Structure 1
Amino acid sequence: MSIGILGSGGLGSNLARALARNGIAATVANSRGAASLAALVAELGPSITAGTVVEAASADIVFVALRWTDTETVLSRLPAWNNRIVVDGTNPVEFLDPNSPAANDPANPLAAYGIKAVDLGGRASSSLIRALVPGARVVKAFNHLDVNALPQPQLSGGQRVLFYSGDDAAAKAEIRALIEAMRFFPVDLGALDTGGPLAELPFGPLAAINFVKV
């Protein structure tokens, strides 16, 4: 089973750290090329390698760890998915320039956090990602926690809870096993269109809640 990570920002780099801590191999890629990932790869050791976007996207399990505003551009350029698993770790938010007027917009309840919600016209982000990766088996996961918590699955004598959802039972079973291998406690939220919105930042009722199984 090979693993690829598309994106090396806060989510992608911390996913790589969480995998490396458990000796799980993965290829990480970004738009700037493998050379820009030299420091991260050196930090994490031999289990994490840098590759091209196409190489990472060719893995058996592909984590989408992109900013929402980049998802369509990146995913629309990739080859056929051929029933491989795509883990959607995205959230429909836009990061704000701290010096822009939008960063101080009183009408934006999230301005203090440096983000604003993207209007999806009532659709769940996971349904939009599913449309961008035709032929893939999509599982929504790794999106509801602070990304800095991902390398630290154990807390207060217990395990952090990670939610996941999807429509393909076999794909969900593989991601559940991976979550367990990363030492988190997996909780199945059901089908993609049911569970995805529950854990979607910024307004999902289970988003940003740090449950611990003791």
Structure 2
Amino acid sequence: MTAITVIGTGNMGQAIAGVAAKGGATVQILARDVEKAATAAGPIGAHAGVVGDAIAGEIVVLAVPYPALAELAAVYGEQLTGKVVVDLSNPVDFATFDGLVVPADSSAAAELAASAPGARVVKAFNTNFASTLVSGELGGEPTTVQIAGDDDSAKHLLADVLVAAGLRVADTGSLARARELEALGFLQMVLAVREQIGWTGGYAVRA
């Protein structure tokens, strides 16, 4: 049975923890506030703890905003070595909401990989709104999670849990594709903020 640690109890963290439990994984939820972690963990039978506790999962989902990635990489250091570490952030410039704050030839996921060199970093979930992960569908089709990463076995480990939960997975290739995924995630957020789509909508991938 796959073990997954989700760090963060926002909408995305709770949605992903629920998907992981539905996919048959054992789930650990960590947050800065143990009461929030316990509240999120209760309904799905997950284990709750605080940031800084030992990581139980072989997959670690960093369900936190972009600025928190470097801090978590520093907190956990070598504990991330060998782990499948999933980045779902969109590094948006929220001061202007007019672009990404990472260099044009990089991505949040690439920066995370550089700060946690032993981790098997995967980009995933950043083009999904939480509501479509919870419902498991978008436009009458199963929700598709687009992923990118340099380690095929890491991507397969995550994909197996998602497929078991009833979702679809689209492998976009190497971690270099995280840049395009982050741009797509940003554009989807812009459409939602401009009320061109709802937060229950978004981009769908159909075969």
Residue matched to 1:7: 8
More helix by share: 2
Q: Distance in 1 between matches of 2:88 and 2:162?
A: 13
| 1:150-188 Cα shifts (integer Å, max 9, x gaps) | 111134542121101110111111122122112111111
Would you say the 8 A contact 2:7–2:64 is kept in 1? yes
Counterpart of 1:12 in 2: which secondary structure? helix
Q: Which has the larger radius of gyration?
A: 1
Tell me the residue number matched to 1:17: 18
**Residue 68 of structure 2: SS of its match in structure 1?**
helix
Secondary structure of the residue aligned to 1:190 is coil
153, 163, 177: which one aligns with 2:160:
177
1:92 equivalent in structure 2: 91
Report the CA distance between 1:117 and its aligned residue: 4.3
Task: Give me the whole-angstrom Cα distance separating, in 2, the residues matched to 1:212 and 1:191.
Answer: 18
Q: Which runs of 5+ in 1 are unaligned?
A: 96-101, 103-107, 111-115
- For 1:61-140, list aligned pairs within 5 A: 61-80=59-78, 81-93=80-92, 108=96, 110=97, 117-122=99-104, 123-140=106-123
The alignment of Structure 1 onto Structure 2 pairs a total of residues equal to 191
Aligned to 2:48: 50
Provide the aligned C-alpha RMSD in A. 2.5
Gaps of 5+ in 2: 192-200
* CA distance in structure 2 between the aligned counterparts of 1:121 and 1:197, rounded to whole angstroms: 10
Q: Which amino acid aligns with 2:144?
A: V
Residues 160 and 213 in structure 1, CA contact (< 8 A), matched pair in contact too: no
User: What is the SS of the residue equivalent to 1:91?
Assistant: coil
Q: Distance in 2 between matches of 1:212 and 1:169?
A: 21
Check conservation: 1:159, 1:212, Cα contact below 8 A. no
Map 1:19-38 to 2 at 5 A.
19-32=20-33, 34-38=34-38
Is the partner of 1:67 in helix, strand or coil? coil
Decide which of 194, 197, 203 is 1:210's aligned counterpart: 203
Aligned partner letter, 2:180: L
Q: Is the 1:166–1:191 Cα contact (8 Å) retained in structure 2?
A: yes
Residue 190 (1) aligns with residue 183 (2)? no
Amino acid at match of 1:202: F
Counterpart-to-counterpart distance in 1, 2:109 and 2:122 = 9
2:144 to 138, 141, 161: 161
Residue 113 of structure 1 corresponds to none
Distance in 2, matches of 1:64 and 1:70, equals 9
Q: Deviations over 1:20-59 (max 9, x none)?
A: 3444321011122x233232223x232x221232446342
**2:87 corresponds to which letter in structure 1?**
D
Cα distance between partner residues in 2 of 1:58 and 1:94: 33
Mark the CA change 1:133 to 1:163 in structure 2 (over 3 Å): closer, same or farther: same
In the alignment, the residues of structure 2 paired with residue 202 and residue 30 of structure 1 have an alpha-carbon distance, to the nearest angstrom, of 25
Structure-1-length-normalised TM-score: 0.78
Q: Which amino acid aligns with 2:102?
A: L
Whether contact under 8 Å (2:83, 2:120) holds in the other structure is: yes
